[in-house]
Amino acid sequence: MGVLRILGFAMIVCLVIAGLDYFQQGKKHDGSLSVSGYVDTIKQRFAQQQGEREAKAVERDRQNRWNAGAKPYLPAAAQGWDRYELTDLDSAPVDTVLSEYDPTPLISSVSGTSELIRLSKAGKEGFARKLSKTGLVYSNGDEVAWFDISLKPKSARNSLAGIALSRQQNFAAMTEITKGFAVIDGVAFMETTYSMLESDEAPDYRRITGRIGIDEEVVIRMNTNASDEAILELLQAVDYAALNALLTFPSPVVGAGILIPQDRQAEVAQKMDDLYSEMILVQEKMTDEKLENLNFAAVMVNAMTASGYNSDGIMDITGGKVFENQDVLQIGYGRAQKLLLESDQRQAALADDTAQGSGFFKRLKDKLPAFGIPGVTGASADSAAPKKSSQPVRVHKGGLGTSCAQVGSIKRCAAAGQ
């Protein structure tokens, strides 16, 4: 009997819960929810919860891959190439890179003042250990390349340290003069030709940089003395779709199979870099507004609670006066990239069609009698044109007020006053 009572009580509880849930769902449907409709709502809510659980699992997996870093995505050594760890200080290619190619970690990869002090005291070995977390050295005969893929986290825009770090990174990028190099699988690569922060002498190596995303970015860098062909061989061996999937908001143009002719890649890369620079200026304007509306109490609280350069504080440093959504910047940048490439491809296709069409109409025009003599072009057309008469023109004026002119055997007269 005790078991039956427990089962009965459980059934009553379930019925009460179901009744309350049915009542709540009925209110959402203006009281017109049928039993079958209620069953459908149960299925829909279960599917929604299942979708949310799957989305959370996907996000956890993405975050774990982000935390693991991008070094595993560096390509294996192709035929003729050798690959070295930056901690292999006894190898000649690594020594060349460390002494001549000026490899540097991203500013955002330094977590705070304590790590910066450790790096400055660690010397060459400590510096190489830091670089080895994100990069490798490749060599093929006399050609040597430092190849690095670093993950730049979203800027901490709610603390003075984070804003200063973000502004320093943007300023460093704006001091460089670059030119388009290539577009590979939707990623624009630029070659730095001059940096205002360095000496006037051009370095003995080339600097290639590509980026996926904005603010939260995958930054691909290569310092090398290699030729264009060798650089492209290394860059084309990277899985950019997999790198793109590391971002919270992946770029819609990366890994999408967009192909750009080789002769136009430098031009398109320049356009994409110009777009990136414009979006950075938007972020800088927002920084100016924040600095003009600082709430100093919030700044002090955030300074005490932030754990590093890339850590946001717990209070809005503007006291709610300036609203910034960094996600909007990232999503908008991706959409703008997509529109830019689609527009560029349409214009290129239109230019090709126009060039082909103009050639067709020129050939057609040469064959039409209305525009020329059939089968006659150039000098032959000039020789076939009607010849002017060489006969003299005689004019007679009589006393009746008429004037006549005779050309050959044809005589024309006009009355006076006309």
Residue 62, pLDDT score: 95
pTM of the model: 0.75
Least confident of 47-51, 65-69, 77-81, 93-97: 47-51
pLDDT tier, 401 (very low <50, low <70, confident <90, very high otherwise): very low
Closest-CA residue to 140 (of 37, 224, 218): 224
Residue 23, pLDDT score: 66
The structural domains of the chain, with segments of one domain joined by +, span 2-29+42-62, 69-354
The answer to whether the beta carbons of residues 76 and 138 sit under 8 Å apart is: no
Residue 199, pLDDT score: 67
Structure tokens at 187: 């990623």
Average pLDDT, rounded, for the chain: 82
Residue 399, pLDDT score: 46
Structure tokens at 268: 């398109």
Give, in degrees to the nearest 5, the angle at Cα 136 between 255 and 127.
125
Percentage of residues in the chain having pLDDT higher than 70: 79
Report the alpha-carbon distance of residue 334 to residue 92 in Å, rounded.
Answer: 41
Residue 341, pLDDT score: 94
Percentage of residues in the chain having pLDDT higher than 90: 43
Mean pLDDT to the nearest integer, 87-111: 91
CA distances, 137 to each of 96, 380, 394 (Å): 10, 68, 95
pLDDT tier, 27 (very low <50, low <70, confident <90, very high otherwise): low
Half-sphere exposure of 309 (CA within 13 A, CB side): 19
Mean pLDDT to the nearest integer, 298-312: 77
Residue 362, pLDDT score: 62
The answer to whether the beta carbons of residues 290 and 322 sit under 8 Å apart is: yes
Residue 318, pLDDT score: 87
pLDDT tier, 306 (very low <50, low <70, confident <90, very high otherwise): confident
Residue 347, pLDDT score: 85
Mean pLDDT to the nearest integer, 5-20: 76
Report the alpha-carbon distance of residue 91 to residue 88 in Å, rounded.
Answer: 6
SS3 306: coil
The answer to whether the beta carbons of residues 261 and 173 sit under 8 Å apart is: no
**Count of C-beta atoms within a 10 Å radius of residue 385:** 9
Hey, which of 17-21, 331-335, 385-389 has the most confident mean pLDDT? 331-335
Q: How far apart are the first and last CA of the chain?
A: 134
Structure tokens at 249: 């908001």
Closest-CA residue to 340 (of 268, 403, 279): 268
Structure tokens at 114: 């304590």
Q: Of 201 and 245, which is predicted with more confidence? A: 245
Residue 314, pLDDT score: 79
